[in-house]
Amino acid sequence: MVRVISLGSSFAAGPGIDPQSNLDAGRSFNNYPNLFARKLGLDPTDTSQFLDLTVSGATLLNVNTDPQTAGNTTFPPQLDSLPPVQDGDDGSDLVITITGGGNDMFYIGSMFAWTLKHTLWGKLVTWLLMRREEREWLEQPTVATPEQVSQRFAFLLDSLRQRYPKAKIYLVEYFAMIGPDTVAGKDVGWDQQQIQRYEETAELLQKLYKQAAGDRRGVHVVPLAEVSKKHALGSPEPWVSDGSLLNFYRHGAYHPNLRGMQAASEILLDFHEKLQSQDKCP
């Protein structure tokens, strides 16, 4: 039987999607890792079969080396939360999914910041409900360079490979927020110039995922970004939620919705099964 471990941030964790398994982590029982595990016939409540370490807001530093405080919880680095390796365990039956890197580059955070700054309700939320340090972070975020993100991915993948030499590692791309149906000023509050900046960041993330996988053995990119463009903001069947007050209240603004998580789990399962079939070919 295969085992699954999931690492990463909110696009894997599923904030705003009911039911939540950990509110501080913004982690849903219906995120794509959980749904994928269930499609494989695993028991998502048995951590020996499925372990979800994703935390909303995590950077790759939080995955690798740095603790993360979210809500009332301080989460240890996700790598530190991996189970002890048993004798003879080379990870040959293990699948590790990773979605991260966007927070390092202030990708979705910049969408939050713009909405909170340019809407009346956003200004009220910012000044009445947010702590000073949260406001300062939105105004002056720490943004990693592409080279730093590459280094963090390399550290993560090398650490996992050293720990589990034969594990399959899936870099699951970010859902597309912007697609051919996204209209500036209608589906989003941003103008076309801002839309282009967000598209450039999304494309850079795709590039960094491909660079991270490179020729590393057992590391594969799951191409979710391109597939999901026709289900971006403004599409008839979006896989992501807009930046409305209601979605901010639910903690799901500018994030995958349930339909998106279901689709991602199916794409991941299809990718995994095709890879398994290739591995069995002589």
Find out whether 16 and 261 touch, Cβ atoms under 8 Å: no
Amino acid at 27: R
pLDDT digits (tens, 9 = 90+) for 61-92: 999 999 999 989 999 999 999 999 888 888 99
Crossing angle (nearest 10°) for helices 146-163 and 192-213: 30
Find out whether 10 and 108 touch, Cβ atoms under 8 Å: yes
**For the domain bounded by 3-280, which CATH number is listed?**
3.40.50.1110
Is the pLDDT confidence value at 127 over 80? no
Is the pLDDT confidence value at 264 over 90? yes
pLDDT digits (tens, 9 = 90+) for 1-28: 899 999 999 999 999 999 999 999 999 9
Classify the phi-psi angles of 154: left when phi > 0, otherwise alpha if psi is within -120 to 50, otherwise beta. alpha
Burial 212-225 (b: 16+ CB within 10 A, else e): bbeebebbebbbbb
Q: What percent of the chain has pLDDT over 90?
A: 79
Q: What does the pLDDT read at residue 214?
A: 95
Long-range contacts of 39-48 (CB under 8 A, 24+ apart): 39/265, 39/266, 39/269, 40/2, 40/4, 40/269, 41/1, 42/1, 42/2, 42/3, 42/4, 47/83, 48/3, 48/83
pLDDT digits (tens, 9 = 90+) for 162-204: 999 999 999 999 999 999 999 998 999 889 999 999 999 999 9
pTM for the model stands at: 0.94
Is the pLDDT confidence value at 282 over 70? no
- HSE-CB of 3 using CA atoms within 13 angstroms: 18
Task: Report which DSSP code applies to 256.
Answer: B
